[in-house]
Amino acid sequence: MSHITPIRQKWAGTMTDRERFNRQIRFQSVDRSYNMEFGWWEENYQLWKVFLDNNITSEWQGNILFNFDKMGGAHENTFLCPGFEHKVLERHEGYNIVIDGNGVICKEQNTGHATIPHYLRSSIETPDDWKRVKEERFIIDDPRRFTDIAKLKAYLPDDRDFPAGVHCGSMIGRVRDMLTFEGLSYACADYPDMVEDMVETCCQLVEASLDRLLPHAKFDFATGWEDICFRSGPLVTVEFFRDIVMPRYKRIRRKLDQYGIDVWYTDCDGDVRPILPYLLEGGINALFPFEVNGCAHPGEILDMYPGAIRILGGVDKVQMIKGKAEIKAYLETLVPYVERGGFIPFCDHRCPPDVSEENYFYYLDLKEKMFGIPK
């Protein structure tokens, strides 16, 4: 592994990264804002000179290069185990027909550009299909899921100086990935018991994982992934989310509470507002990375649920694309929310290649001037 030399000074401070994160996310005073970003598109590594010159090809390398505050975590496989083998079924000019790791047959571009595949058909269309896949790939006590506890303890000692989260999987987002959006819509109507059993299975896998992990490390927060919303709202009905998904969140929340983990974020793009009351009731009280254009200005949500919801992210990438004046104007709208606490600002998803290097460095410099100077 080659050594990476940071090209920026770490933001000055009087707290450890762990103290700072834990206080800021809980609306307490801090020396300065926690400094993090959510990575970059794959294309950035081939287009940005700073990455090419420093041989940066991954997010963790970029985090070291820019000297962001450190964050860690632990997770186990709480879904398909094993996943489906990725296979090319047909090759064409410009695209391939493949079966992906979720067992979905899809059309993928083979031009070298990062794009979302066009999903054609799921491997699970009937309860019989699900029964077979569940028996083969959703065995809860499959040892391939288990963490090496000795390594976990060495990586996350109680006296570490960086925050770390425990992953709580996905109740419906990964199910959507496996069924496809269209397939999930049909399955909710045609086979509701099958879909609920999928959600229940995901919940049991997370519960088993937490039982293995929580006794052996002190976690500062919990994480999750759903990605179950788009610009027009959730991909499932609000009633489905309330009646089928939320009760499973409550079971996971009970386990987290036993170990004093009071902050739990989920990664869900799009407009989460219709389901936000049920995320909160289920025990999820933070949103990450909170895409602005798919939902709202982060201040709207923070004002709507003062003291109850946290946001990580929320810096509108569209303004970062436009230019320096737009970046400055947008960051200024975030000042009262950063000062209030419960809000850690960074680009509202992976930074796209449309953001120029010049704009990105201006953004990093301005963010430090506005939020990174110790008080």
CATH code of 263's domain:
3.20.20.210
Which structural domain, as residue segments, surrounds residue 61?
17-79+124-371
Tell me, yes or no, whether 117 and 133 share the same domain: no
The residue type of 296 is A
Tell me, yes or no, whether 139 and 114 share the same domain: no
Mean pLDDT, residues 42-61: 97
8 within some domain: no
Identify the band that residue 235 occupies on the pLDDT scale cut at 50, 70 and 90: very high
The pairing of beta strand 310-315 with beta strand 343-347 = parallel
334 within some domain: yes
Q: Is the pLDDT of residue 251 over 60?
A: yes
Tell me, yes or no, whether 205 and 99 share the same domain: no
59 within some domain: yes
* pLDDT 10s digits, 188-226: 999 999 999 999 999 999 999 999 999 999 999 999 999
Which residues, including other chains, have CB under 8 Å from residue 43's CB and lie 6 or more apart? 113, 114, 353
* pLDDT 10s digits, 152-182: 999 999 999 999 999 999 999 999 999 999 9
Tell me, yes or no, whether 261 and 281 share the same domain: yes
Q: Position of tokens 């009280």?
A: 285
* Mean pLDDT score across all residues of the chain: 96
Tell me, yes or no, whether 111 and 63 share the same domain: no
Higher pLDDT, 333 or 114: 333
Which pLDDT belongs to residue 2? 60
For the ranges 112-126, 231-245, 318-332, 355-369, the lowest mean pLDDT is seen at 112-126
265 within some domain: yes
Which pLDDT belongs to residue 115? 75
Tell me, yes or no, whether 107 and 188 share the same domain: no
191 within some domain: yes
Spatial separation of the C-alpha atoms in residues 76 and 206, rounded to whole Å: 9
Mean pLDDT, residues 12-29: 98
The residue type of 153 is K
Provide the 3-class DSSP secondary structure of residue 59. Answer: helix
Tell me, yes or no, whether 73 and 90 share the same domain: no
1 within some domain: no
Which pLDDT belongs to residue 357? 97
Calculate what percentage of the chain has a pLDDT beyond 90.
Answer: 94
DSSP percent split of the chain into helix, strand, coil, nearest 5: 45, 15, 40
Mean pLDDT, residues 250-255: 98
Tell me, yes or no, whether 153 and 171 share the same domain: yes
Provide the 3-class DSSP secondary structure of residue 89. Answer: strand
Identify the band that residue 1 occupies on the pLDDT scale cut at 50, 70 and 90: very low
Compute the residue count for the chain.
375
Tell me, yes or no, whether 62 and 196 share the same domain: yes
Identify the band that residue 114 occupies on the pLDDT scale cut at 50, 70 and 90: low
Which pLDDT belongs to residue 111? 81
* pLDDT 10s digits, 287-342: 999 999 999 999 999 999 999 999 999 999 999 999 999 999 999 999 999 999 99
Calculate the CA 301 to chain-centre distance. Answer: 18
Tell me, yes or no, whether 114 and 191 share the same domain: no
Could you give the residue ranges of the DSSP H alpha helices within the chain? 17-24, 44-47, 49-53, 59-65, 127-137, 149-155, 173-179, 181-190, 192-213, 238-240, 246-258, 276-282, 298-304, 317-322, 324-340, 357-371
Q: Is the pLDDT of residue 108 over 60?
A: yes
Tell me, yes or no, whether 332 and 222 share the same domain: yes
Long-range CB pairs of 185-188, under 8 A, 24+ apart, other chains included: 185/235, 188/236, 188/237, 188/240
Q: Are 280 and 311 in contact (CB under 8 A)?
A: no
Task: Name the domain count of the chain.
Answer: 2
Tell me, yes or no, whether 245 and 225 share the same domain: yes
359 within some domain: yes
11 within some domain: no
Which pLDDT belongs to residue 86? 93
